[in-house]
Structure 1
Amino acid sequence: MTPLDRAWLAANPLPPCETATDKNARGRVLIAGGSERVPGALRLTAEAALRAGAGKVQLATVERAALGLGLAMPEAAVFELPANREGELAAAAGSRLVELLGRCDTLILGPGTGKEADAGALLDAVLAAKEPPPTLLLDAATLGVAADRHQAIKAHVGRTVLTPHPGEMAALMLEDPDRIARSPADVVKAAAHQFGAVVALKGPDTHVATPEGVILRYPGGGPGLATGGSGDVLAGVIGGLLARGAAPFVAATWGVWLHGEAGRRLAARVGPIGFLSRELPGEIPKLMAEV
């Protein structure tokens, strides 16, 4: 198994950013998710995508959260989506979301969504769209409904990233959680093959696998990253890199490393635990520049 370190990143660089560019050429990200219970989750994902270098971020969330989210994130456009009775994204949001796909280079689907979201209907709408986004990242509730849709996801081979934590991986692969803990590399390799996607299995050590069976291991950014919103930030970093034109494996590996190293730096400056997820994105630009 190959270690994910600076040497690997230097040999697999991110797409350069040309001097003569504009925000659309830098990459357009659409982030759909959030809920009335966690209305600010998409702010974390949005800032992380911008800090990773994306030029344009658009947010699609439940109606009651949209205005506040737009005020909190003035750099982003915000679109309202219908909510269900639980305050999560409703099935009717799928058709509106499909209308927005032409506005993005990468769709991040799911951050901030809970188990009451109509995630299956949303994912079905996106996967069946005539003009799907060039790249797609699935997170949170969308991972919980992906197991029965693996063939449709696999049809997007080479364009999809999945970012499960161990509990989500258990649902994704219908797998025993104990086996995931014992053999994370085997499970992430099987998941990448089954879904035809790059899969980043988050944990104390994070494993990233390709459908072809390549696996990288990152030794982790420390216990401080085990905090609310940390996964939303990781999704944003990876999505921002995808929108810039990085291949899914490169985007996922760089995203995992940047997220982890940001945690290390905050741990050294603030303390091993107690820093906030919203502090992570500010570390990303300098880390990218150093490599």
Structure 2
Amino acid sequence: MQKLDRAWLDRHPLPSPAIGGDKNARGRVLVVGGAEFVPGALRLTGEAVLRAGAGKLQMATVRAAAMSLAVLMPEAAMIALPADDDGEIASGAIELLGERLANCDTLVLGPGMSASERTEQLVAALLRGASAGQTIVLDAAALTCAGNLGTLVAAHEGRVIMTPHYGEMAYLTGIDAETIANDPVAAAERVAEKFNAIVVLKGARTVLAGAGEEAALFEGGSAGLATSGSGDVLAGVIGGIAARGAVPFTAAGWGVFIHGAAGEHAAKEIAEIGFLARDLLPAIPKLIANFGAG
């Protein structure tokens, strides 16, 4: 077991941005999620993607939320998707997303979505449609729905990053959360091997595991990170770093570390408890620059 610390970052450096490269060279990200009940979740994920250095961002959410989200995030292209009677992304969205998926480097799927049969169908279709070179971050409902899609996840040969908390990990493993808490490393490694994926098991101490990789433990951050929207930010940071060209294991590790460092920064500047997930966002670019300087 290794520590996910500054020395780990030095051993897993980020790719250097191409001198003179345009926004496409820094990576294109598609974020899919949200619902009428939580229309702002994608704002946190999308801004985190760009704060992490990705060059282009597209966001896809239910039509009722798309216009206000587009105004809130003028840097992003917006895709309005049909909704079902519950205000969740409807199955008809699959056809609308096909071409968009083909033109991205990284897909972040799940923030703000609820688990349902339609969600599972959407996740399955996007997993089938994604190409071999793309990185996929599965978060929230997309993650739990993937519990029944192990073959599709494993087919991407380690390019899927899963970001469960203990409750979601219990669903993926069939083991209760208390047992997982007693040995989170074993649980993360088990899921990473089963799904041939990268696993970020979120908690007071976060575990990073990957099939064929030595697991790493992150013990930084702050108590204030346990707040609504914090996981949406983490998914975006991981997705943005992956889009810049980092391999999935490196992108996940950097995402965890930078997210934790942003929490420490917010705790110092605001308070240990009570800062908002969106308070993490402005610190992300400088933290990546500082820790990436070597």
- When the two structures are superposed, what TM-score results if normalisation uses the length of structure 2? 0.96
| Maintained 8 Å contact 1:61/1:81 | yes
Pair 1:63 & 2:63 matched = yes
Moved over 3 A (4+): 130-133
Aligned to 1:54: 54
Q: Secondary structure at the match of 2:23?
A: coil
Report the equivalent of 2:180: 180
Give the Cα separation in 1 of the matches to 2:105 and 2:76: 15
Whether 2:208 is the aligned partner of 1:205: answer no
2:111·2:139 contact (CA, 8 Å) conserved in 1? yes
Q: Distance in 1 between matches of 2:213 and 2:176?
A: 21
Please give the root-mean-square deviation of Cα atoms over the aligned residues, in Å.
1.3
Q: Closer, same or farther in 2 for the Cα pair 1:205/1:130, shift >3 Å?
A: closer
* Equivalent position SS for 1:234: helix
Of residues 252-261 and 14-23 in structure 1, the stretch that sits farther from structure 2 once superposed is 14-23
Which residue in the other structure is 1:93 paired with?
93
Q: Which amino acid aligns with 1:270?
A: I
Question: Partner of 2:171 in structure 1?
Answer: 171
Q: In the superposition, relative to structure 1, how do residues 119 and 281 fare at CA in structure 2: closer, same or farther (>3 Å)?
A: same
- Equivalent positions of 1:1-291 (< 5 A) are 1-116=1-116, 118-129=118-129, 131=131, 134-291=134-291
Instruction: Return 5+ residue gaps in structure 1 as ranges.
Output: none
**d(CA) in 2 for partners of 1:129, 1:272:** 42
Distance 1:262 1:213 in 2: 26
Give the gaps of 5 or more residues in structure 2. none
Number of equivalent positions: 291
Q: 1:99 to 1:18 in 2, by over 3 A?
A: closer
Distance 2:277 2:133 in 1: 27
Write the distance in 2 (CA, Å) between the matches of 1:117 and 1:71: 31
Which stretch of structure 1 is more off in the superposition, 117-126 or 162-171? Answer: 117-126
1:43–1:69 Cα contact (<8 Å) kept: yes
Distance in structure 2 (CA, Å) of the matches to 1:88 and 1:207:
31
Aligned partner of 2:290: which letter?
Answer: E
CA distance in 1, matches of 2:207, 2:272: 22
Q: Residue 145 of structure 1: SS of its match in structure 2?
A: helix
Structure 1 distance, partners of 2:33, 2:220, is 26
In percent, how many aligned pairs have the same letter?
A: 51
Distance (Å, rounded) in 1 between the aligned partners of 2:85 and 2:255: 35
SS in 1 for 2:260: helix
CA contact (8 A) 1:28 1:55 kept: yes
Shift in Å at residue 114 of structure 1? 1.7
Q: Distance in 2 between matches of 1:63 and 1:10?
A: 43
Cα distance in 2 between the residues matched to 1:188 and 1:122: 25
Contact 2:237/2:255 (<8 A) preserved: yes
- Aligned-pair CA distance for 1:19: 2.2
Alpha-carbon displacement from aligned partner over 1:15-49 (angstroms, at most 9, x marks no partner): 10122110111100000000001111101001101
Cα distance in 2, alignment partners of residues 57 and 127 from structure 1: 19
